[in-house]
Amino acid sequence: MIKLTEYLTAINGINHTPALDPDAVEIHGAYVSDMLSDVMGSAKPDEAWITIMKHLNVIAVASMTGIPVIIFAKGNTPDAAVCDKALEESISLVSSTLSTFELAGILYNLLRS
């Protein structure tokens, strides 16, 4: 397990939900997909979600699935309405310029070191 704070540093991430303490968010694993039903069908609760999708339904999917943090790859930045909804649902949102592959690789190594 690592804390979101550690991952944010490793990926040079931007935290879009600073009101949620990144030190209190634990990452045990992740699911990588841009198909929303695939995430709902296969992601496990408490996993981080790495994706390029950033519209409002993404927050609903994370909420229904029990995902505490979404990492947006390739510099994708959610708009204010999406960030507000995420705060309401206590879901942390992070952006990074890195690719999905790099984001997953870095997290994989951190979790296993």
Partner 1 sequence: MAEYWYYADGFEERVQEQLHNNPEAEVDLDFAIPEKDFNTAGKGSSELKNLLKRLGVDSDVLRRIAVASYEAEINVAAHSKGGVMKSAVHDDLIHVRFEDDGPGIADIEQAMIPGYSTADDLVRELGFGAGLGLPNIKKNSDAMHIVSDIGSSTLLEFFIFFG
In the complex, which residues of this chain contact partner 1 (CB under 8 A)?
Answer: 34-38, 40-41, 45, 53, 55-58, 60-61, 63-66
- Pick between residue 24 and residue 52 the one whose CB is nearest to partner 1: 52
Least distance CB 55 / partner 1 (angstroms)? 6
Contacts 24+ apart (CB under 8 A), 83-91: 83/16, 83/17, 85/56, 85/59, 86/16, 86/17, 86/59, 86/62, 87/17, 87/19, 87/20, 89/59, 89/62, 89/63, 90/20, 91/17, 91/20, 91/59, 91/62, 91/63, 91/67
- Pick between residue 55 and residue 105 the one whose CB is nearest to partner 1: 55
Least distance CB 113 / partner 1 (angstroms)? 30
Least distance CB 6 / partner 1 (angstroms)? 26
- Pick between residue 14 and residue 40 the one whose CB is nearest to partner 1: 40
- Pick between residue 18 and residue 52 the one whose CB is nearest to partner 1: 52
**Conformation bin of residue 75: beta by default, left when phi > 0, alpha when psi is -120 to 50:** left
Least distance CB 58 / partner 1 (angstroms)? 8
